[in-house]
Chain A
């Protein structure tokens, strides 16, 4: 309804109004600009206009596939940040959950094999178990924050260290393989392409968006991030809601771990998931969510992930050294937050 009102005043003022007040709009616009730059770069590389489309198609399949894990985690992170918190443990949690999943489904000495379960039934059970464990891990974070009254940064910094180091110690002599049947979860080709991770990601984006927009839990999440005291004085069970928010983030990590294992087929327990917390935070912030909580959106976190993905793709295509790519990411996140500040004033 806002659109029609503003359009009378001309495109420029409509644009300006949205740019200043609608963070999703500015994120989408930023993505559009990136895609245009990407087109120019691709066109240049392909040498002809006709060569642009297959190149773009491949590039986008890669962007979407490679960012699916961190992208799914970013959705959980998005809830955490909107509630005014932060979860640094997501990367380590992914790694730890991945290890647990491997213990469950390993074809030679896996736990499920020992109780005589194999095939699809075993895989389904392992997925359910893993999601539950992810929920419990998130629950732990949430309880530390809500009932232990720890600052989220400290609580999840602690669990981040715990998840990682315990995983590394317990997997010292662990050299697992992933059964082909489990890999089929992501690697089954559709139209000759591996697109299942992308489908999972987008499905979860839609689910999380609906949770955010349509449930009381979603509204209460914003309320807590917007003004925790007012939320409490509105009869909201702030502690329970916070705990659930972190649990949801844990579930997202579990889903990301399942897709990760199924796609990569192994896990480097020292490095898997390293830096995912920062990638997720970056996607959320670039997507227009305020670190102070209260403002933001799930779709924004999705778009934010795509922006960083496209950015990486462009930098690779023009041959920027890998080390410098990180610097460019840094510039982007700083810009994104500078733009948000304008929104506050």
Chain B
């Protein structure tokens, strides 16, 4: 089937997400859809998948215009959408999952024999070696992908959208999925491959389309490009970002990691951060930086190997209160899930970390609690009407500052900020950057984890780039620019 999406426009409120985007795909072709986070890839695919309606523009399949009002319409037209978080029921067998949308019946009961037989036939055609009677929970992530692909095929899909299928896969698993994709291609199925990993794109795809800020900025044959060019397209040349002009004096080494590995998220990480330094750690989804520093903070339950040194002495942090005692602070990503105590007041949220230390006798010294919090409020310029209101009454930026305040009150030696400007508007972002620099000037060792290259360039003195759980490069000085970061983060010099 030949797909042609023409002049697709979509906006959410005043925000233009897609502007006159053209996209085409021929049968038997694998096309990469590339772009940074927020470039509009998901929106475009959701329009194709019938999840979202386009504001304007047409979708043609084999020259005929189609109109998708729901995911069912899209599926009926032969488009299978494989989401990043797989839609399989773990507690059912493979064949039950394959037929979950319309289970075949014989009389009152399920026609198990037919389901198994049809599944086996399809597996054979696709060169997949699996027993349909296996429980889905016993499959590894790549086989789950394959089951989902097969399910789409069973529903007569002749075009399959794969949204970052390889992020949670190991190398051999990736090989398996790629083999499946090649089989599909040979059978004339078209595939849209959304990925951040440019070397994978170079390997498996025929064509590419790059989106940036809702515009299609480049397309062409993969054989005529390279990862450098693709990374440049994704970032764009005209983007000018403020860069870090801070010239702070770095003190002695505060935190050092030596050969830190855990079971699955990161391997052989060694890095050090000094007093007064802002160290960045960046990468794309699935790079393991968040898990790495949650391990340092004692918040992961997984086993790890390697050593962590604080002020030159080895420390063993098994849980978060030990980290707190060592002077390590961690501002988590996903504020709503990981940081906000929604039933508590602004004051309580802002002092929950330090609360045990401001107890006089048995009771909380409320005067001191309020005074300490007020100091942070002034320092961070938190805007609020009443500190006894619930935290949820604040804007995202101010909530984030309150979360920051609770850690600053504890006077940390090392401050780890995981996506510190997530869900924060532009003005508040800049404020948070300035706060980070002010803190560094007072001698705190700061680690900023972020997937936004612009943010790293703006706020960090130097930065490690991670790819798939490994540190692939250090950028500093003039080398620290978006192109280099994107090149490394997409696995540019790996493999």
Contact = CB atoms under 8 A, between A and B. Distances in A.
Given A232-B299, A233-B299, A234-B320, A219 B364 contact: yes
A317 interface: no
Contacts of B353: 234-235
Contact of A233 (B338, B359, B363, B364): B338
B175 to A, nearest CB: 35
The binding surface of chain A is classed by DSSP as helix
A249 to B, nearest CB: 19
A220 B339 CA distance: 14
A121 B363 CA distance: 31
Contact of B356 (A210, A216, A222): A216
A185 interface: no
A316 interface: no
A214 interface: yes
B364 A216 contact: yes
A115 B137 CA distance: 61
Interface in A199-236: 210, 214-216, 219-220, 222-223, 225-227, 229-236
Given A219-B352, A235-B320, A235-B324, A230 B359 contact: no
Interface string B296-333: 01010000000000000000000111011000001010
Contacts of B344: 219, 222-223, 226
A295 B343 CA distance: 6
A287 interface: no
B341 A226 contact: yes
A223 B348 CA distance: 9
Which range contains the number of A residues in contact with the other chain? 20 to 34
A232 B321 CA distance: 8
A234 B356 contact: no
B359 A216 contact: yes
Nearest to A237: B321
Given A215-B363, A219-B348, A219-B352, A230 B319 contact: no
Contacts of A227: 337-338, 340-342
B355 interface: yes
Contacts of A219: 344, 348, 352, 355, 364
A234 B323 CA distance: 10
Contacts of A210: 363
Contact of B355 (A220, A233, A294): A220
30 contacts: A1-B386, A210-B363, A215-B362, A215-B363, A216-B359, A219-B344, A220-B355, A222-B341, A222-B348, A223-B344, A226-B342, A226-B343, A226-B344, A227-B341, A229-B337, A230-B337, A230-B339, A230-B340, A232-B299, A232-B320, A233-B330, A233-B338, A233-B339, A234-B352, A235-B353, A235-B410, A236-B321, A236-B352, A237-B319, A239-B319
Given A223-B341, A226-B344, A237-B321, 14 more contacts: A214-B363, A215-B359, A215-B362, A215-B364, A216-B355, A216-B359, A222-B341, A222-B348, A227-B338, A233-B299, A233-B332, A235-B323, A235-B410, A295-B343
